């Protein structure tokens, strides 16, 4: 009894975990959720783009170039959040052997890599007019680059085995090892005082960014998170369907009677076995 | 403990005798530094400025080179299965093998690094810092590498995959190790860098055997 009492939130989590361990239930739920996610994401990004390009003021120092922020910062948040998601899903997959957790981790990694790439490129484009250079070996930039390579390593490892289950489990261990990098990225700008500016939204003592800029930024971020959910559901559904198709094909191959072909190869067999 | 020492002695002996793993690694280490000297040019001024960084990068690559031999032979001949079934917890077995890997690669690398430091005309005053840094940092290289080596067991194109996984994780030891001997680093900067390097090694010592053993278990399943 006491065990149950201490678990409070854990009990809910566990219930949700076992509820969606059934792929058929997941397919129904995700089919229902997908249009809502897609609609929300499209609307938020549309509103966010209008706000960012026309409503938000230009910066008194950076001028119009500050508008790159509305892509760069949400992409950076997503790059970190998606990695955290991959790691959490990997932990669930390792601990409970949850069938969908591994699919979720695999499906999320390329999306995260894409967001990291967007973050790096937009940052580079923003750095050129502001810092006068495309790239500096600053702590934040370098650690995000390392994150990008962690994503690539995860994707490569997951696909490197003939047995896909093996790849999934190896990838899960790697994702958990890579989590060490996340706090380094988040706090790199506070620990090493280099070129990249320190955090101005998620910090102790409240954001230092003006409200007129914060609102479009948060709208865009919400749109990006919606986009992630949409893409994740799409990719997970595809992976589940792929698995199903593969199983069906294997079943069909096992049931089909062996065909007697009369190719050149077959005629040579009796001669060789003489 | 006897099993731990026995495993260590076996792996260390194999690395020294069979195929000369240690000799290959040292030769590779020296060659990379020499290649840099050819690529950058013979000006002593330039070489002195980047020398410590070159030695650290060469040490990383040399450590990487020997990683695929850490578990692969035992994985192929079934020795790894015996290790998993023995009374010794797999975490300790991994630790013994990693320690042997370090003794056969990291330690000799550290030992010949003063020679290479002379070759790139490094300031003699920074020499102890370089050697101390390598002594503290190379165990972290072996420990982090052991996880990646276990993860890639039986993968296609294992060698390339191994370097893709390991090199990003080698960035922090490289930053702190090379930072301790960087030009213009005063005593307190060097001290801070070496302390951080030590922290990295201790963290790797505490965490890597678990991750490595988990990776091996799923490889043996």
Determine, for residues A170 and B215 on separate chains, whether the beta-carbon distance falls below 8 Å.
yes
Q: Which residue of B has its CA nearest to A146?
A: B168
Q: Are A58 and A143 in contact (CB under 8 A)?
A: no
> What separation, in Å, do the N-terminal and C-terminal C-alpha atoms of chain B show?
26
- Please state, in angstroms and rounded to a whole number, the distance separating the CA atoms of residues B202 and A265: 62
Q: Which residue has the higher pLDDT, A254 or A125?
A: A125
- Band of residue A53 on the pLDDT scale cut at 50, 70, 90: confident
- DSSP string computed for B202-217: HHHHHHHHHHHHHHHH
Could you tell me which chain A residue has the CA closest to the CA of B163? A153
Q: Which residues of chain B have a Cβ shorter than 8 Å from any chain A Cβ?
A: 147-148, 151-152, 154-158, 161, 164-165, 167-169, 171-172, 211, 214-215, 218-219
Residues in chain B within 8 Å Cβ distance of A176 = 211
What integer pLDDT is reported at residue A194 of this predicted model?
58
pLDDT tens string, chain B, 221 residues long: the values are 788 888 888 888 888 876 667 888 888 999 998 888 888 887 878 888 888 888 999 999 998 888 888 888 888 888 888 888 888 888 999 999 999 999 988 999 999 999 888 888 888 888 888 999 999 999 999 999 999 999 998 888 888 889 888 988 888 888 888 888 876 667 788 888 899 899 999 999 999 999 999 889 888 87
Q: Supply the pLDDT for residue A4.
A: 42
pLDDT score, position A193: 55
Please tell me the predicted confidence (pLDDT) of residue B38. Answer: 86
Q: Of the candidates A146, A152, A184, which has its C-beta nearest B164's C-beta? A: A152
**Of the partner residues A152, A160, A174, the one whose CB lies closest to the CB of residue B156:** A160
In this predicted structure, the answer to whether residue A49 has a pLDDT above a threshold of 50 is yes
| pLDDT computed for residue B185 by the predictor | 67
> How many angstroms separate the CA of residue B184 from the nearest CA in chain A?
17
Q: DSSP for B46-105?
A: HHHHHHHHHHHHHHHHHHHHTGGGTTHHHHHHTHHHHHHHSSS-HHHHHHHHHHHHIIII
A129-157 pLDDT per residue, tens: 888 888 877 777 888 888 899 999 999 99
Among A156, A177, A184, the residue with its CB nearest the CB of B164 is: A156
Q: Which residue has the higher pLDDT, A72 or A262?
A: A72
Determine the pLDDT at residue A129.
82
Closest Cα of chain A to B70: distance in Å?
17
* A80: pLDDT strictly greater than 60: yes
Tell me what the mean pLDDT of segment A54-79 comes to: 84
Which chain B residues touch A166 with a CB distance below 8 Å?
Answer: 154, 218-219
- Cβ pairs bridging A and B (under 8 Å): 57
ipTM for the predicted complex comes to 0.83
* Cβ pair A153, B165 in contact under 8 A: yes
Q: Are B70 and B145 in contact (CB under 8 A)?
A: yes
Single pTM value for the model: 0.82
d(CA A273, CA A123): 68
Contacts of A149 in chain B (CB under 8 A): 164, 167-168
Other C-beta atoms lying within 10 Å of the C-beta of residue A157: 25
Model pLDDT for residues A192-218, shown as the tens digit of each residue: 655 676 666 666 566 667 777 888 889
To test the contact with chain B by mutation, choose from A116, A157, A192 the residue with the greatest count of B C-beta atoms within 10 A, namely A157
**With 80 as the cut, is the pLDDT of residue A10 above it?**
no
Whole-number Å distance between alpha carbons of A138 and A123: 12
CA angle A27, A32, A36 (to 5 degrees): 130
Alpha-carbon distance of A81 to A73, in angstroms, equals 12
Query: Nearest-CA distance from B17 to chain A in Å?
Result: 32
Over residues A170-185, the mean pLDDT reads 84
Using an 8 Å CB-CB cutoff, list chain A residues near B169.
177-178
Cβ distance of A156 and B161 shorter than 8 Å: yes
| Contact list, B154 vs chain A (CB under 8 Å) | 161, 166
Residue B13 to residues A21, A111, A125, B65, B88, Cα–Cα distance (Å): 49, 46, 54, 19, 20
The pLDDT assigned to A110 comes to 95
Largest CA distance in chain B: 57
Question: Would you say residue A8 has pLDDT above 70?
Answer: no
CA-CA distance, A70 to A183, in Å (whole number)? 23
Select the residue of A146, A161, A173 nearest B168 (Cβ to Cβ): A146
| Percentage of residues in chain A having pLDDT higher than 90 | 32
- Chain A residues with CB inside 8 Å of B156's CB? 160-162
Band the pLDDT of A89: cuts 50, 70, 90. Answer: very high
CB contact under 8 A, A166 and B169: no
Structural contact between residues B131 and B39, judged by C-beta atoms closer than 8 angstroms:
no
């Amino acid at each position: 009894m006491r065990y149950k009492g201490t678990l409070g939130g854990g009990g809910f989590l566990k219930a949700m975990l076992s509820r969606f361990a059934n792929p058929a239930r997941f397919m129904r739920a995700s089919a229902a959720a997908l249009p809502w996610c897609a609609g929300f994401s499209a609307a938020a990004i549309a509103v966010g783009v209008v706000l960012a390009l026309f409503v938000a003021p230009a910066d008194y120092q950076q001028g119009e170039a500050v508008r790159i922020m509305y892509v760069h910062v949400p992409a950076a948040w997503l790059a970190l959040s998606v990695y955290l998601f991959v790691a959490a899903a990997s932990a669930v997959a390792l601990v409970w052997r949850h069938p969908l957790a591994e699919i979720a981790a695999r499906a999320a990694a390329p999306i995260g890599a894409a967001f990291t790439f967007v973050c790096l490129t937009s940052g580079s484009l923003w750095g050129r007019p502001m810092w006068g250079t495309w790239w500096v070996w600053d702590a934040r930039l370098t650690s995000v680059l390392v994150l990008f390579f962690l994503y690539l390593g995860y994707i490569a490892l997951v696909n490197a085995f003939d047995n896909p289950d093996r790849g999934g489990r190896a990838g899960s261990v790697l994702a958990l090892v890579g989590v060490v990098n996340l706090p380094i990225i988040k706090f790199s700008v506070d620990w090493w005082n280099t070129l990249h500016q320190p955090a101005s939204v998620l910090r102790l003592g409240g954001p230092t960014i003006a409200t007129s800029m914060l609102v479009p930024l948060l709208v865009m971020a919400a749109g990006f998170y919606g986009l992630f959910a949409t893409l994740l559901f799409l990719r997970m559904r595809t992976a589940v369907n792929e698995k199903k198709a593969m199983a069906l094909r294997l079943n069909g191959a096992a049931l089909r009677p062996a065909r007697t072909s009369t190719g050149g190869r077959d005629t040579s067999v009796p001669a060789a076995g003489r | 403990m006897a099993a731990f020492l026995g495993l260590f002695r076996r792996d260390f002996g194999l690395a020294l005798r069979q195929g000369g793993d240690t000799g290959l690694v040292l030769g590779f280490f020296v060659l990379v530094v020499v290649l840099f000297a050819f690529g950058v040019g013979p000006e002593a001024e330039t070489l002195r400025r980047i020398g410590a960084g070159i030695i650290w990068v060469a040490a990383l690559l040399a450590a990487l080179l020997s990683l695929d031999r850490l578990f692969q032979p035992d994985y192929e001949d079934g020795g790894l299965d015996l290790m998993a079934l023995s009374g010794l917890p797999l975490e300790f077995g991994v630790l013994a093998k990693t320690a042997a890997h370090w003794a056969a690669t990291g330690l000799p690398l550290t030992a010949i690094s003063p020679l290479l430091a002379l070759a790139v005309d490094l300031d003699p005053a920074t020499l102890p810092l370089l050697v101390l840094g390598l002594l503290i940092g190379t165990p972290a290289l072996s420990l982090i590498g052991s996880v990646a080596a276990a993860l890639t067991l039986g993968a296609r194109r294992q060698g390339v995959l191994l370097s893709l996984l390991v090199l990003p994780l080698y960035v922090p030891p490289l930053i702190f190790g090379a930072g301790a001997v960087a030009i213009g680093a005063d005593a307190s900067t060097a001290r801070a860098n070496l302390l951080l390097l030590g922290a990295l090694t201790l963290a790797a010592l505490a965490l890597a055997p678990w991750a490595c053993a988990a990776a091996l278990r799923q490889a043996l399943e």
